[in-house]
């Protein structure tokens, strides 16, 4: 069998296993979030109630959409402000064995917004710029809170759709506490311990210094040369091994659709991702919550067929993406083949394009990860996307550009998907000449406006960001290329920030005020606009009186609806992205 077929078979098995786990897990998540009795609540209940008392939340205190939204925005902004302060003050804070100084304000702004919005774009590499305090107390805390906010908002929207007229959306702060306590923290603890066992560091000791078996030389400019080269003016005999609280951070970076690595190389670094087992578990962790939340929706509205329709659309889109990117990365470019001088077959090595890929992982599992990480708005990487083939780069770009619909971020993905569902219901109902209604709620102009803004906002934000970046003179120098290649790199950064993904093409190097500013604003808008729309839509839906389904009303759970939903998603994505794609990666591929 060809390596491509084997890899696709592996991917199919992994997705099937994930779905099989997500289905029962969603029952637990719904019980945890809705305050229903469950085994975990018997153990952790006192902690939950303690947090409730500290927050002065009365039992059964439920919020309307305004209070819910104020809470969600407040926690996002407080988190960003707190992280911003930590990053600025890094130099005087404890747990800084490497003695890193505080970050520049523009870098700190970008990084703080990035982690508070679940984006995890990183303008600087963690291991060379951030103290253990900044990583664990700063970034990792946002890695818990930002997905918890997303999960909370998703549940508010689900309650709004499911409940009778005038009921509240739940209590935002209780939802955050429950999402962390019952879902994110237990999973992260298990994942982190497995990570340490496999080789990911977890210590507060300073970085290790080790002997180089073969010293290297430095020339006058500080470039690495052979030790015995005539240009060598100095010898380098030792190397660094970055340590720190890495395992605890890696676990939550994957589970919470965050993606920000402890190290600049992210999960391509063997320190963050030491073995095929950790690679498999991290890859699965990327998709676990997005898929689980889709099943939660069916349970919340009391109609599992609704989840099945959404899940079918998501899995179909994901399958196309996986096949395309895996096939692209198993085909070596002419430049790599070098007229047959290089062997890229699969005997005793990974077949395909190994530029930017790790030996222990191989081309297939790197491609699969790239599809998962951009489908789920995670953004972590186990290889360098800059080393992907041009067509291999298009797949992650398209997945991000579609908005967070193919899984999406924790909670925000489900919300975006439901925005598309409302849009589809509206269009489909008009096509068959019925009044639009979804799950017994009439869809009016106000609901439509919110749904359209929710699905269009990320696309507009990312394209506007790309347009601004192109106009910045300094961006051309940082784009890592000229013409179509340079534009691809800029476009990728703008799309990644607007989609709250955070994955990066390493060709685009930018820790400069213009980049930090533009991308930071993009991340904020790309997060807060859809989030606000979701909560407002929840409020509108909750205010509507459920009506009995009329004769011939559109069913939102059949095969036909699933296909229509996919068409609408692809149409919106294509209309927004095709011109930019044609000028960027497609032009590179055909050049």
Binders of other proteins in range 33-52 (CB under 8 A): 51
Candidates 176, 314, 417, 499; binder of other proteins (CB under 8 A) is 176
d(CA 571, CA 317): 13
Nearer residue to other proteins within complex by CB, 231 or 238: 238
Candidates 301, 485, 519, 556; binder of other proteins (CB under 8 A) is 485
Applying CB under 8 A, the span of 171-179, 463-471, 510-518, 555-563 interacting with other proteins comes to 171-179
The answer to whether residue 529 forms part of the interface with other proteins (CB under 8 A) is: no
Binders of other proteins in range 88-107 (CB under 8 A): 98
Binders of other proteins in range 235-294 (CB under 8 A): 236-243, 245, 247-249, 263-265, 268-271, 274-277, 279-280
Nearer residue to other proteins within complex by CB, 127 or 437: 127
Q: Least separation, in Å, of the C-beta of 555 and other proteins?
A: 37
Candidates 124, 316, 543, 589; binder of other proteins (CB under 8 A) is 589
Binders of other proteins in range 390-429 (CB under 8 A): 390
Binders of other proteins in range 136-165 (CB under 8 A): 136-138, 140-141, 144-145
Burial class, 472, CB count within 10 angstroms (exposed 0-12 / middle 13-18 / buried 19+): middle
Candidates 2, 101, 165, 335; binder of other proteins (CB under 8 A) is 335
Nearer residue to other proteins within complex by CB, 218 or 448: 218
Applying CB under 8 A, the span of 20-28, 36-44, 294-302, 347-355 interacting with other proteins comes to 347-355
Candidates 31, 44, 167, 336; binder of other proteins (CB under 8 A) is 336
Candidates 4, 162, 188, 569; binder of other proteins (CB under 8 A) is 188
Binders of other proteins in range 202-221 (CB under 8 A): 202-205, 207-214, 216, 218
Which residues, listed in sequence order, are joined to residue 437 by a DSSP beta bridge? 442
Q: Least separation, in Å, of the C-beta of 403 and other proteins?
A: 26
Binders of other proteins in range 118-137 (CB under 8 A): 125, 128, 136-137
d(CA 38, CA 48): 13
d(CA 488, CA 506): 12
> What stretch of H or E contains 4?
helix 3-34
The answer to whether residue 374 forms part of the interface with other proteins (CB under 8 A) is: no
The answer to whether residue 173 forms part of the interface with other proteins (CB under 8 A) is: yes
d(CA 325, CA 32): 37
Q: Taking phi first (over 0 means left), then psi (-120 to 50 degrees means alpha), and beta for anything else, what does residue 170 get? A: left
Burial class, 109, CB count within 10 angstroms (exposed 0-12 / middle 13-18 / buried 19+): buried
Nearer residue to other proteins within complex by CB, 316 or 586: 586
> What stretch of H or E contains 215?
strand 208-218
Candidates 292, 350, 380, 500; binder of other proteins (CB under 8 A) is 350
> What stretch of H or E contains 212?
strand 208-218
Binding mask 503-522 for other proteins (x = CB under 8 A): ---xx---------------
d(CA 395, CA 60): 45
Binders of other proteins in range 4-33 (CB under 8 A): 6, 10
Nearer residue to other proteins within complex by CB, 35 or 480: 480
Answer whether 439's CB lies under 8 Å from 301's CB.
yes
Burial class, 266, CB count within 10 angstroms (exposed 0-12 / middle 13-18 / buried 19+): buried
Angle (nearest 5°) at CA 480 between 477 and 483: 80
Binders of other proteins in range 291-310 (CB under 8 A): none
Binders of other proteins in range 540-579 (CB under 8 A): none
Applying CB under 8 A, the span of 192-200, 285-293, 425-433, 534-542 interacting with other proteins comes to 192-200
Helical residues (DSSP H) of 376-444, grouped into ranges: 390-401, 412-431
Which residues, listed in sequence order, are joined to residue 383 by a DSSP beta bridge? 357
The answer to whether residue 180 forms part of the interface with other proteins (CB under 8 A) is: yes
Residue 298 tokens read as 């069916």
- Give residues with Cβ within 8 angstroms of 46, minimum separation 6: none
Closest CA to 395 of 385, 382, 380: 385
> What stretch of H or E contains 304?
helix 304-329
Q: How far is CA 116 from the centre of its chain?
A: 13
The answer to whether residue 588 forms part of the interface with other proteins (CB under 8 A) is: yes
Closest CA to 377 of 404, 341, 351: 404
Nearer residue to other proteins within complex by CB, 395 or 564: 395
Applying CB under 8 A, the span of 162-170, 199-207, 293-301, 523-531 interacting with other proteins comes to 199-207
d(CA 227, CA 299): 65
Candidates 342, 435, 549, 571; binder of other proteins (CB under 8 A) is 342
Binders of other proteins in range 47-76 (CB under 8 A): 51, 54-56, 66-67, 70-71, 73-75
């Amino acid at each position: 069998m060809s390596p491509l077929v084997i890899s696709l078979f592996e991917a199919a098995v992994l997705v099937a296993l994930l779905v099989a786990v997500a289905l029962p897990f969603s029952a637990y998540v719904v019980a945890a979030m809705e305050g229903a009795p469950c085994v975990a609540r018997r153990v952790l209940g006192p902690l939950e109630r303690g947090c409730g008392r500290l927050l002065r939340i009365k039992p059964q205190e439920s919020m309307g959409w305004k209070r819910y939204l104020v809470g969600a925005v407040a926690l996002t902004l407080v988190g960003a402000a707190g992280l911003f302060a930590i990053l600025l003050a890094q130099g005087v804070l404890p747990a800084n064995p490497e003695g890193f100084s505080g970050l520049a304000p523009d870098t700190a702004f970008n990084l703080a917004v990035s982690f508070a919005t679940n984006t995890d774009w990183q303008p600087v590499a963690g291991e060379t710029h951030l103290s253990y305090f900044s990583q664990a107390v700063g970034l990792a805390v946002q890695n818990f809170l930002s997905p918890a906010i997303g999960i909370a908002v998703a549940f508010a929207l689900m309650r709004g759709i499911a409940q009778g007229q005038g009921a509240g959306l739940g209590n935002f702060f209780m939802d955050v506490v429950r999402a962390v306590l019952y879902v994110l923290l237990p999973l992260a603890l298990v994942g982190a311990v497995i990570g340490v066992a496999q080789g990911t560091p977890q210590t507060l000791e300073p970085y290790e210094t080790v002997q180089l078996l073969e010293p290297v030389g430095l020339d006058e400019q500080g470039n690495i040369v052979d030790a015995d080269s005539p240009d060598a003016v100095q010898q380098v005999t030792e190397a660094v091994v970055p340590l720190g609280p890495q395992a605890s951070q890696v676990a939550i970076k994957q589970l919470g659709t965050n993606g920000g690595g402890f190290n600049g190389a992210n999960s391509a670094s063997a320190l963050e991702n030491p073995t095929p087992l950790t690679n498999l578990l991290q890859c699965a962790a990327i998709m676990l919550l997005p898929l689980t939340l889709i099943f939660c929706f069916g349970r919340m509205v009391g109609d599992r067929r609704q989840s099945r329709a959404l899940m079918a659309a998501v899995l179909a889109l994901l399958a196309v993406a996986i096949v395309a990117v895996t096939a692209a990365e198993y085909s070596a470019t002419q430049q790599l083949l070098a007229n047959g001088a290089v062997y890229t077959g699969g005997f005793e090595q990974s077949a395909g394009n190994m530029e930017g890929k790790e030996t222990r992982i191989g081309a297939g599992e790197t491609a699969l990860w790239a599809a998962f990480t951009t489908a789920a708005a995670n953004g972590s990487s186990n290889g360098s996307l800059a080393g992907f083939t041009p067509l291999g780069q298009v797949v992650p770009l398209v997945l991000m550009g579609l908005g967070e619909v193919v899984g999406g971020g924790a909670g925000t993905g489900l919300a975006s998907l439901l925005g598309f569902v409302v849009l589809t219901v509206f269009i489909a109902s008009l096509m068959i000449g019925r009044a639009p209604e979804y799950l017994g709620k009439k869809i009016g102009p106000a609901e439509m406006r919110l749904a359209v803004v929710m699905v269009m906002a990320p696309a507009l934000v990312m394209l506007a960001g790309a347009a601004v970046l192109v106009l910045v003179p300094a961006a051309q120098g940082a784009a890592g290329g000229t013409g179509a290649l340079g534009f691809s790199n800029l476009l990728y950064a703008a799309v990644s920030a607007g989609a709250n993904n955070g994955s990066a093409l390493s060709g685009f190097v930018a820790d400069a005020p213009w980049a930090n500013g533009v991308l930071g604003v993009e991340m904020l808008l790309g997060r807060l606009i859809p989030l606000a729309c979701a909560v407002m839509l929840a409020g509108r839906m909750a205010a509507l009186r459920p009506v009995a389904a009329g004769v011939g009303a559109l069913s939102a759970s059949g095969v036909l609806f699933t296909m229509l939903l996919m068409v609408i998603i692809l149409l919106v994505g294509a209309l927004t992205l095709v011109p930019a794609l044609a000028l960027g990666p497609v032009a590179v591929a055909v050049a």
